[in-house]
Structure 1
């Protein structure tokens, strides 16, 4: 195992949901500013195009658009435009997740506390449902194309990059199985989490392949399979829905920034340097949600989010765009699962919220530990949390790091898949965060849909909430309706069939 200490654990949970910080407005390839525009109806795009505005992308049945223009004013004056917001680019922040040394033994079920009877009951539920024939989309850093424990449907995947840099034709999307020159972190110093000095390294890979590790870890939690045909009996771990397909929707990519302010010499004076950082934009994320619904994914998981916001910003165009796209996906049958965030923040009072988990229509998931209590880093609040699910760790950092608990560190974290080529040969690792909680729910959706495929997204959410445990009711500030429980959820879905 990796060396166990307080610092390494704090690093491990810091980015358990990929936290984002706004870093500026995204530009089109010709230098014009990109905007996310919401319009009143399907005719909004036509009106914009007739006025000479360049519409570069469209989601939510044409009600949310990606537009390139010289100024905001040229868009606002078009009839039918409701909101115009810059397509904000976000840098991933928070300490990077830590992994353990590689193990090639399969006795992994014994250490998957997150799938056992006293937590989610996934192993028991597999007697009735395994997610066969269902699809889980992972909106993240991509998914390892060749990991033997993942049924990765990369040919159905996509890379979403609004500036068109990765696309052969300059469009904001690339088919997942298209071979591209992907960007990876430089070999230079990591000056902040997900931020490295120097220009990115490059390698040829499929567009939806993982460029970090986070997406692969989430994919394993939701859908990791046992495969005794190619690598030996009882290889790997078991995901919540081990027979479901998983589709990589990559919204993160490594971006070069040439004017990053950093104190190189440690003298207190910042200077401009070239760095490579993990990056995404609002429209990339919105496009991925919409695409998941377009391909009929049963669930779309987003283990990502911005910081905790206070005030009336939830009324702005950015929030409206997320709400339109998420609700459109839900109406088409895709259950959207979101991580609640790792800021230990109360989202119930004083107008606090985060995007996208605070948007009505998504299932917002807090993180719990082996004792089904709220993990110390997880956000909470009755206004935002729908259910809890295993994310790793206990209610305090001290208990998490203790050696005399039933699940001592790192065994109280969540064990799942990672790309060996990005982790010094390691194929599995311990991570913690609300990122690890949300895909548990995404996988549960696949179990429910296998036994009752005609259920609407809202009906699926209702079953998940009504069969959850360890809560005094849906108003529990820590875990909402409770910790998800797969056997009862599958049984209830069967009963309603």
Structure 2
């Protein structure tokens, strides 16, 4: 039987329970309390050592036999109640869609090259800039007198370009959960774009606004590599870190596709509940696997968990984005909760040699999720006594239904700031 890395949900994590796990699997478990900038989980986890994330009740172990795990789950005396194999997650933005097309349809290569050239190299003109303000107006930010002041908002993504001039006066804290890569650089650009939408302010060159919660305390967890790829264990590690520091909002513009009728991850479901208990709201992109109108795809992981807010994407014409996943697995979990702007979204991009713009346009449910995260920060500032579950309820109850769009696709509707 092949040995693989697994995430294990524990019934209890007291000393006696952990000793049972160590004896049963012949592994030494390190508590996340002992992790630091020099003692990182990905350097610890191997055939002989695992990590227990104390805020989540989840352990990660490598080279464990699946049959042994199955036996433990079926043993009432074992602390192990569930396990799942680690899976890959990806940034859910337009560039991923393009890369899929490159593999599946070589004849589209010229179109892909042209679009990539626009996204990466072409400076934005004033007409495009004006259009890009549609997303903030659509969710009512022009009516908001709040800025997210005092709210800890965490972006789990590909890192952040700390050198971006729009954030020069911000005290930004971060940590990398990707081996040999730092959080304060973002060659991929995805995390910087998402952070800009949720927590940016105005363009340094024109003064036009593109961000929502400009005075929030921006936190960065690098869980996706410089190529836009990550794993379950890295994301779990980062969420545990965020809860340890009592961050109020975690935005995840990442996804792993799921199959029709596939049940949500019990690991992420438990993690979402733990976060809510710790007064933290988890928000995730619904995924970009659909080929609408013919073939909508189910909400991806981890957004398909009932304890994590799932965000779909719409365009400026109030149409569901053709790539945006929908709640077609609802019988097994996987509903859309709300929708937000996710097509032709203007935000920050890393400073790149030879590039003559600090901003770019992107689309994806990745772009929609940080709109909701930024809005949540405004509501948390406005209603400081509301806990995370009530903020979730507020986001849904104030969302605006969109004519001719199905609940399956947009949930309660387009998120709104209501004064």
Match of 1:150 in 2: 167
Q: Cα–Cα, structure 1 residues 474 and 101, in superposed 2: closer, same or farther, change >3 Å?
A: closer
1:90, CA displacement in angstroms?
Answer: 5.0
Structure 1 stretch displaced more, 355-364 or 469-478: 469-478
Q: Cα–Cα, structure 1 residues 106 and 328, in superposed 2: closer, same or farther, change >3 Å?
A: farther
Post-superposition Cα deviations, 1:450-479, rounded to whole Å, max 9, x if no partner, equal 111221111101111111113479972221
Is the Cα contact below 8 Å between 2:283 and 2:310 reproduced in 1?
yes
Q: Cα–Cα, structure 1 residues 368 and 46, in superposed 2: closer, same or farther, change >3 Å?
A: same
Match of 1:307 in 2: 257
Is the Cα contact below 8 Å between 2:7 and 2:60 reproduced in 1?
yes
Note if 1:322 corresponds to 2:268: yes
Match of 2:84 in 1: 85
Is the Cα contact below 8 Å between 1:211 and 1:253 reproduced in 2?
no
Match of 2:340 in 1: 389
Higher strand share: 1
Post-superposition Cα deviations, 1:355-389, rounded to whole Å, max 9, x if no partner, equal 11110111111111112221222122374111111
Is the Cα contact below 8 Å between 1:151 and 1:244 reproduced in 2?
no
After superposition, residues 268-347 of structure 1 pair within 5 angstroms as 278-311=228-261, 313-314=262-263, 319-344=265-290
Match of 2:223 in 1: 251
Is the Cα contact below 8 Å between 2:298 and 2:327 reproduced in 1?
no
Unaligned runs of 5+ in 2: 30-49, 73-77, 100-115
Q: What secondary structure sits across from 2:163 in the alignment?
A: coil
Match of 2:143 among 113, 116, 124: 124
Q: What secondary structure sits across from 1:249 in the alignment?
A: strand
Is the Cα contact below 8 Å between 1:36 and 1:283 reproduced in 2?
yes
Q: Cα–Cα, structure 1 residues 48 and 473, in superposed 2: closer, same or farther, change >3 Å?
A: farther
Structure 1 stretch displaced more, 86-95 or 382-391: 86-95
Note if 1:63 corresponds to 2:77: no
Match of 2:305 in 1: 359
Is the Cα contact below 8 Å between 1:390 and 1:414 reproduced in 2?
yes
Q: Cα–Cα, structure 1 residues 236 and 224, in superposed 2: closer, same or farther, change >3 Å?
A: farther
Q: Give the paired residue count.
A: 361
- Supply the distance in 1 between the matched residues of 2:198 and 2:172 (Cα, whole angstroms): 19
- Supply the distance in 1 between the matched residues of 2:19 and 2:127 (Cα, whole angstroms): 56
Q: Cα–Cα, structure 1 residues 441 and 89, in superposed 2: closer, same or farther, change >3 Å?
A: closer
Is the Cα contact below 8 Å between 2:300 and 2:325 reproduced in 1?
no
Match of 2:134 among 110, 113, 120: 113
TM-score by length of 1: 0.65
Match of 2:43 in 1: none
- Supply the distance in 1 between the matched residues of 2:248 and 2:302 (Cα, whole angstroms): 19
Q: What secondary structure sits across from 2:185 in the alignment?
A: coil
Match of 1:219 in 2: 195
Name the Cα RMSD after superposition. 3.2
Match of 2:27 in 1: 53
Q: Cα–Cα, structure 1 residues 147 and 376, in superposed 2: closer, same or farther, change >3 Å?
A: same
Is the Cα contact below 8 Å between 1:154 and 1:247 reproduced in 2?
no
1:91, CA displacement in angstroms?
Answer: 6.5
Q: Cα–Cα, structure 1 residues 81 and 129, in superposed 2: closer, same or farther, change >3 Å?
A: same
Match of 1:210 in 2: 186
Unaligned runs of 5+ in 1: 1-24, 26-31, 167-181, 183-205, 255-276, 393-412, 492-497
Q: Cα–Cα, structure 1 residues 253 and 352, in superposed 2: closer, same or farther, change >3 Å?
A: closer
Is the Cα contact below 8 Å between 1:72 and 1:84 reproduced in 2?
no
- Supply the distance in 1 between the matched residues of 2:208 and 2:129 (Cα, whole angstroms): 7
Is the Cα contact below 8 Å between 2:87 and 2:256 reproduced in 1?
no
- Supply the distance in 1 between the matched residues of 2:243 and 2:403 (Cα, whole angstroms): 33
Q: Cα–Cα, structure 1 residues 130 and 62, in superposed 2: closer, same or farther, change >3 Å?
A: closer
Match of 2:9 among 38, 45, 50: 38
Post-superposition Cα deviations, 1:408-452, rounded to whole Å, max 9, x if no partner, equal xxxxx1111110227834310010111111100000010001111
- Supply the distance in 1 between the matched residues of 2:168 and 2:59 (Cα, whole angstroms): 32
Q: Cα–Cα, structure 1 residues 91 and 238, in superposed 2: closer, same or farther, change >3 Å?
A: closer
TM-score by length of 2: 0.76
